[in-house]
Chain A
Amino acid sequence: GESVGLHLPTLSVQEGDNSIINCAYSNSASDYFIWYKQESGKGPQFIIDIRSNMDKRQGQRVTVLLNKTVKHLSLQIAATQPGDSAVYFCAVNLGSGYSTLTFGKGTMLLVSP
């Protein structure tokens, strides 16, 4: 199986700061990792993903870092904006042949102007 852990339930930042949200997983066979953003009253929305054969992937203002040695995943948001306020979840998949995801507990990001 897989368990996915949370490092910090709430993160408060000022607008313009960089945000880092962390996640740990337990199964070394995990192959695929996704970050989701969930706004109040909505379902999770895809932000960025990374395969286990990579250690870094960048998107628009977001970067995901994967450290397989310590089974740790992080999401970095550059120049955080009030619209980034939401709950962020990491999710883990065991890879080819599995389509189900195991989710972490989520970090609520609060961005103040």
Chain B
Amino acid sequence: EADIYQTPRYLVIGTGKKITLECSQTMGHDKMYWYQQDPGMELHLIHYSYGVNSTEKGDLSSESTVSRIRTEHFPLTLESARPSHTSQYLCASSGPQGARGYTFGSGTRLTVV
């Protein structure tokens, strides 16, 4: 049973639309992460959070933004979607063990047409 949930699983949307990808976890983890993954390729960290009201940009520049108002919720927003945003977005969380205790969601596959 998944403890970290991402919705939607698949999304096809037109250029210029605003979208929010949802991520929620029920484990009480402080740390949450968003990774971007192109098919068959490595995961790139785009945002992370170490707790409520804490957000940081990751290694890969992204036009998306995140918020962390509640411990369990870490949504990612694209104000104006473009075809270059087409990718898979993976959310993860970790507890006190940090890197030693990652749990990943199943991902949202986004297609911008």
Contacts and interface: CB of A to CB of B under 8 A. Distances in A.
Contact of B99 (A9, A34, A41, A106): A34
Interface residues of B, number: 24
Interface band, chain A:
20 to 34
Contacts of A41: 106-107
Contacts of B94: 99
A107 to B, nearest CB: 10
A46 B101 CA distance: 9
Interface string B51-66: 0000000110000000
A1 B102 contact: no
A113 interface: no
Contacts of A4: 42
Contact of A32 (B33, B58, B100, B104): B100
Interface of B: 31, 33, 35, 40-45, 48, 50, 58-59, 90, 92, 94, 98-100, 102, 104-107
Interface of A: 1, 4, 6, 9, 32, 34, 41-46, 49, 87, 89, 91, 93, 98-106, 108
Given A9-B40, A43-B92, A99-B48, 8 more contacts: A34-B99, A42-B106, A42-B107, A43-B90, A43-B104, A99-B94, A101-B43, A103-B43
